[in-house]
């Protein structure tokens, strides 16, 4: 949250009935005591990279030159250099209340449906 980019939170909001924070770091262990429900969206790396590039391409040209996805110039798969070890260490999906498949291989309507993994057996 400390990066100076459009849409970031500069400090915690007041009393909100619902606040959704998106991103790999949102479910990190250090914030677990602040989270009421954790949703992990799992997509394959190729599709995640394609979506990231598409988001970067939709930004205004002036913004793209200096701050695409994470404050650094977007260069294909370089974002994974930090994200993969972070996710491997955090293993957020193991603490998630719900896991959504970001690249399902079964038929579904992406406008009205999501594909959820079966509940964990404990």
What pLDDT shows up at residue 34? 87
pTM recorded for the entire structure: 0.64
What does the angle CA 64 – CA 70 – CA 96 come to, to the nearest 5 degrees? 140
Per residue of the chain (122 residues), give pLDDT as tens.
345 555 555 555 566 677 778 888 899 999 999 898 999 999 887 887 787 777 777 766 545 444 444 444 455 556 677 888 999 999 999 999 999 998 888 999 988 998 998 877 77
Q: Render pLDDT for 48-68 as a digit per residue (tens, 0 to 9).
A: 778 777 777 776 654 544 444
Burial of 113 (0-12, 13-18, 19+ CB in 10 A): exposed
């Amino acid at each position: 949250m400390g990066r100076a980019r459009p849409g970031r939170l500069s400090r915690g909001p007041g009393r909100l009935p619902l606040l959704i924070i998106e991103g790999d770091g949102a479910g990190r262990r250090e914030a677990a005591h602040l989270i009421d429900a954790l949703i992990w969206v799992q997509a394959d790396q190729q599709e995640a990279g394609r979506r990231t590039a598409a988001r970067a391409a939709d930004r205004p040209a002036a913004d793209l030159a200096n701050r695409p996805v994470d404050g650094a110039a977007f260069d294909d798969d370089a974002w994974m250099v930090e994200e993969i070890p972070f996710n491997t260490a955090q293993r957020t999906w193991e603490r998630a209340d719900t896991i959504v498949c970001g690249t399902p291989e079964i038929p579904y309507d992406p406008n009205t449906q999501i594909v959820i993994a079966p509940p964990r057996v404990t």
